[in-house]
Amino acid sequence: MQWTTIAQAVMTGILMGSIYALVAIGLTLIFGVVRIVNFAQGEFLMVGMYISYWLWRLFGLDPYLSLLITMPAMFLFGVLVYGVFFRRVIGAPDLAQIFLTVGLSIVLMNLALFFFTADFRSIRTPYGDLTVNLGGVILSVPRLLAFAGALLFGLLLYLFLWGTNTGKALRAVAQDREVAMLLGINPERMYWLAVGLGGALAGGAGALLLPFFYVFPTVGVTFVLIAFVVVIFGTLGNIKGAFLAAFIVGVAESLGILFAGGDMGLIVVFVILVLVLAFKPSGLMGA
Paired residues of 215 in beta bridges:
121
Does position 110 interact with other proteins (CB under 8 A)? The reply is yes
CB under 8 A: which stretch of 161-169, 172-180, 244-252, 262-270 binds other proteins? 262-270
CB under 8 A: which stretch of 5-13, 128-136, 199-207, 275-283 binds other proteins? 275-283
Residues 160-219 that bind other proteins (CB under 8 A): 217
- By beta-carbon proximity to other proteins, the closer residue of 5 and 117 is 117
- Per-residue contact track with other proteins, 7 to 46, x per CB under 8 A? ------------------------------x-x-------
Closest approach of other proteins to the CB of residue 100, in Å:
5
Q: Contacting other proteins (CB under 8 A), which of 74, 109, 169, 210?
A: 109
Q: Contacting other proteins (CB under 8 A), which of 65, 68, 107, 159?
A: 107
CB under 8 A: which stretch of 63-71, 147-155, 205-213, 255-263 binds other proteins? 255-263
Residues 209-228 that bind other proteins (CB under 8 A): 217, 221, 225, 228
DSSP string for the chain: --HHHHHHHHHHHHHHHHHHHHHHHHHHHHHHHH----TTHHHHHHHHHHHHHHHHHHH---HHHHHHHHHHHHHHHHHHHHHHTGGGGTTS-HHHHHHHHHHHHHHHHHHHHHHH-S--B----TTTT-EEEETTEEEEHHHHHHHHHHHHHHHHHHHHHHHSHHHHHHHHHHH-HHHHHHTT--HHHHHHHHHHHHHHHHHHHHHHHTTTS-B-TTHHHHHHHHHHHHHHHT-TT-HHHHHHHHHHHHHHHHHHHHHH-TTHHHHHHHHHHHHHHHH-TT-TT--
Distance separating alpha carbons of residues 51 and 32, to the nearest angstrom = 27
Q: Which of 178, 161, 245, 151 is nearest to 253 (CA)?
A: 245
- By beta-carbon proximity to other proteins, the closer residue of 117 and 164 is 117
- By beta-carbon proximity to other proteins, the closer residue of 162 and 270 is 270
Q: Contacting other proteins (CB under 8 A), which of 4, 59, 68, 117?
A: 117
Q: Contacting other proteins (CB under 8 A), which of 151, 273, 284, 285?
A: 273
- Per-residue contact track with other proteins, 65 to 104, x per CB under 8 A? --------------------x--xx--xxxxxxxxx-xxx
- Rama region for 280: left / alpha / beta (φ>0; ψ in -120 to 50; rest): beta
Distance separating alpha carbons of residues 27 and 41, to the nearest angstrom = 7
CB under 8 A: which stretch of 45-53, 165-173, 197-205, 273-281 binds other proteins? 273-281
- By beta-carbon proximity to other proteins, the closer residue of 109 and 244 is 109
- Interface with other proteins by CB under 8 A: which residues? 37, 39, 85, 88-89, 92-100, 102-107, 109-111, 113-114, 117-118, 217, 221, 225, 228-229, 232, 236, 261-264, 266-267, 270-271, 273-274, 277-278, 281, 287
